Amino acid sequence: MKKHYLLLLGTGLALAAHSQTLTPPARPTPPVAAATNADKAKVEALLKKMTLEEKIGQMTQLTLGVVADGKPGVEEATLDPAALQKAVQTYGVGSLLNVVNHAVTVDRWGQVITQIQDAAAKTRLKIPVIFGLDGIHGQTYTLDATLFPQNIGMAATRDSALAHAITKVAAAELRASGVRWNFAPVLDCGRQPLWSRFPETYGEDVFIGKTMGSTVIHAYEEDGLRNPTAVASCMKHFIGYAAARTGKDRTPIYLPEIELREYYLPQFRAAVKAGASTVMINSGEINGTPVHASKYLLTQVLRKELGFEGVVVTDWEDIIRLHTRHNVAPTPRAAVAMAINAGIDMSMVPMDYSFPDLLKEAVQKGEVPMSRIDDAVRRILTLKYKLGLFENAYPEAAARANFGKPEYQDLALQAAHEAMTLLKNQDNVLPLKKDTKVLVAGPGAQSISALNGCWSYTWQGKEEQWYPANSKTILQAITDKVGAGNVITTTVKGYDSDANYDTTALKNAAANAAVIVLCLGENAYAESPGNIQDLVLAPNQVALANAAAATGKPVVLVLSEGRPRFITSFEPKMKGILQAYWSGRKSAEAIADVLFGDYNPDGILPYSYPRSMGEMVLYDRKPTEEIREIFNSDMTMDGYKPLFPFGFGLSYTTFSYSPVTLSSTTLKGNDKLRISVTVTNNGSRDGKHTVELYSRDLYASITPNMQRLRGFQKIDLKAGESRTVTFILDKNDLAFVNADLKTVTEPGDFEVMIGGEKAKFSYSL
Q: Give the active site residues.
A: 315
Indicate the SS3 state at residue 392.
coil
- H or E element at residue 376: helix 370-386
Cβ atoms 588, 476 nearer than 8 A: yes
What length does the chain have?
765
- H or E element at residue 450: helix 449-452
Residues 6+ apart with CB under 8 A from 169: 138, 146, 148, 408, 411
Residue 572, preceding peptide bond in cis (omega within 30° of 0): no
Beta strands in 551-686 (DSSP E): 555-560, 576-579, 655-657, 661-662, 666-668, 673-681
- H or E element at residue 516: strand 515-521
The CA-atom distances, in angstroms, between 507 and each of 512, 546, 561 are 10, 11, 25
Indicate the SS3 state at residue 338.
helix
- H or E element at residue 624: helix 623-626
Pairwise CA distance, residues 338 & 333, whole Å: 8
DSSP 662: E
Indicate the SS3 state at residue 421.
strand
Helices (H) and strands (E) in the chain, counts: 22, 28
Residues 6+ apart with CB under 8 A from 223: 28, 229, 230
Cβ atoms 149, 201 nearer than 8 A: no
Pairwise CA distance, residues 75 & 84, whole Å: 16
By CB atoms closer than 10 A (0-12, 13-18, 19+), residue 1 is exposed
By CB atoms closer than 10 A (0-12, 13-18, 19+), residue 659 is exposed
Pairwise CA distance, residues 494 & 474, whole Å: 14
Q: Which residues pair with 488 in a beta bridge?
A: 439
Cβ atoms 764, 50 nearer than 8 A: no
Please, what is the Cα angle at 330 between 294 and 323, to 5 degrees? 60
Pairing mode, if any, of strands 130-133 and 95-97?
parallel
Pairing mode, if any, of strands 438-441 and 655-657?
unpaired
Quickly list H helices, 179-289: 206-221, 257-259, 266-274
DSSP 221: H
DSSP 487: E
Pairwise CA distance, residues 139 & 177, whole Å: 9
Task: Please give the full DSSP string across 314-335, using - where no structure is assigned.
Answer: --TTTTTHHHHTS--SSSHHHH
With helix as H, strand as E and coil as C, how does 520-540 read?
EECCCCCCHHHCCCCCECCHH
Pairwise CA distance, residues 529 & 486, whole Å: 38
Residues 6+ apart with CB under 8 A from 697: 704, 705, 734, 736, 746, 748, 750
Residues 6+ apart with CB under 8 A from 218: 27, 30, 164, 274, 275
